[in-house]
Amino acid sequence: MAKTTRRTVLTGAAAAALPFGARGQGANDLKGTTVVFASWGGAYQEAEKVAYCEPFEKATGAKVVQDGPMNVAKFRAMAASGAPDWDVVDVTGGFLEVATKDGLLEKIDPKLVHLDRIDPRFVHEYGVGCIVWSYNLGFSTTAFPNGAPKVWADLFDLQKFPGKRTLLDQPVASLEVALLADGVAPDKLYPLDVDRAFKKLEEIKPNITVWWTSGAQSAQLLNDGEVDMEMAWNGRVSAVAKEGAKVSFTYNQGILQSTSLCILKGAPNLETAVKFVNEAVDPVHQANLPLHIDYGPGNPKAFETGVIKPERAAQLPSEPANAAKQALMSYAWWSSPAGEAAEKRWASFMQK
């Protein structure tokens, strides 16, 4: 397949800026083209397939080839080669910042992609917010008969809330949790007071039963009763709760973040890739994703489509009322020299 040029992409600007159903061009306008989409595999990528990929294929006639799971080393090797196999990738906020600095991504042109569809907090020059998730305070619903914990300070309060604890074995989000527990306002977190955060973590460190390293582990620890309270991803706690575990979580003081859809530098199918990204952030497609997995849409208008029922919306991190209770992760700070120094300091903190 011949590589699409930037001139070709720009001539399609007017069409790309409209949802496919509104162009008046009919279906199959990209018939015969391909876009390779790499994500994180498993149930998450299957949900993206149903919500984004299949509707895009049906509307345009293009073929979406699924690949992955996303692998940072593979991503870097592809970008360095100048001839990547992938076109569109779903990346974390941290890698988006690093990939931007290293020149691995195509800039997102607002003339071609409806950035105004996305919550401005999740719009980046080189990426478009895809799904929203958060770190939250998870807990056993049977361990605290005098009342459930509500804020991060409760995780550190072993007198009022006795029991076993687990925290994430990484500084990203852990330092934010410590500062919120120490009374820092959510909108005043950054730049992080690193000394204050580590001092607060020292208080709880002797009482951490285990430092978890994967989302599955965090859910299992809570599910098995090995811990009574933890920081965890919202989707992991809700998943085991649906299976009957007596656990819950709160969005109070959660740490909100998103993954982003990005286009690799030198993407072989650039025109189709741009249109795929534009279509993926359509409010209806965004609304379809949380019907299949416990993540929120990056497009707030998804909650106005009627696709997400009120009871389901109330469970999602990006639902406006839930989002308002949470702090926004700053990966820009974590990719700064101060953030990099904090990450290095974590290793010595854990070794003490």
Q: What CATH number does residue 101 fall under? A: 3.40.190.10
What's the CA gap between 137 and 163, in Å, rounded?
Answer: 14
Q: Which two tokens stand for residue 112?
A: 């071609």
279 occurs within a structural domain: yes
The count of structural domains within the chain is: 2
Using the Cα atoms of residue 297, residue 299, residue 304 and residue 307 in order, give the sign of their dihedral.
Answer: negative
What's the CA gap between 27 and 44, in Å, rounded?
Answer: 27
Do 246 and 164 lie in one domain? The reply is: yes
Q: For residue 304, report the phi and psi dihedrals to the nearest 5 degrees.
A: -100, 0
Of 269, 239, 292, 298, which is closest to residue 93 (Cα–Cα)? Answer: 298
1 occurs within a structural domain: no
Do 121 and 144 lie in one domain? The reply is: no
75 occurs within a structural domain: yes
pLDDT (tens digit, 0 to 9) for every residue of the chain, 352 residues total? 333 333 333 333 333 333 443 333 334 678 889 999 999 888 889 999 999 999 999 999 999 999 988 888 888 888 888 889 999 999 999 899 989 999 999 999 999 998 887 888 889 999 999 999 999 999 999 999 999 999 999 999 999 999 999 999 999 999 999 999 999 999 999 999 999 999 999 999 999 999 999 888 999 999 999 999 999 999 889 989 999 999 999 999 999 999 999 999 999 999 999 999 999 999 999 999 999 988 999 999 999 999 999 999 999 999 999 999 999 999 999 999 999 999 999 999 999 8
What's the CA gap between 18 and 278, in Å, rounded?
Answer: 8
Do 51 and 114 lie in one domain? The reply is: yes
Do 44 and 153 lie in one domain? The reply is: no
Query: SS3 of 168, please?
Result: strand
Of 215, 269, 303, which is closest to residue 88 (Cα–Cα)? Answer: 269
Do 158 and 33 lie in one domain? The reply is: no
Question: Environment class of residue 313 by beta-carbon count within 10 Å: exposed (0-12), middle (13-18) or buried (19+)?
Answer: buried
Which residues form the domain of 297?
Answer: 6-132+257-323
Query: What pLDDT shows up at residue 248?
Result: 96
Do 190 and 335 lie in one domain? The reply is: yes
Q: Which two tokens stand for residue 4?
A: 């699409």
Contact at 8 Å (CB) between 234 and 249? yes
Query: SS3 of 61, please?
Result: coil
DSSP per-residue string spanning 307-329: SS-HHHHTTSTTSHHHHTTSEEP
List beta partners, residue 37: 66, 88
Do 162 and 284 lie in one domain? The reply is: no
State the CB neighbour count (10 A cutoff) for residue 110: 12
pTM score of the predicted model:
0.83
Contact at 8 Å (CB) between 30 and 272? yes
DSSP code, position 337 = H
Do 340 and 280 lie in one domain? The reply is: no
Cβ within 8 Å of residue 129, ≥6 positions away? 118, 119, 121, 122, 123, 258, 259, 260, 281, 298, 299
Of 245, 234, 222, which is closest to residue 165 (Cα–Cα)? Answer: 222
Q: Which two tokens stand for residue 203?
A: 């208080």
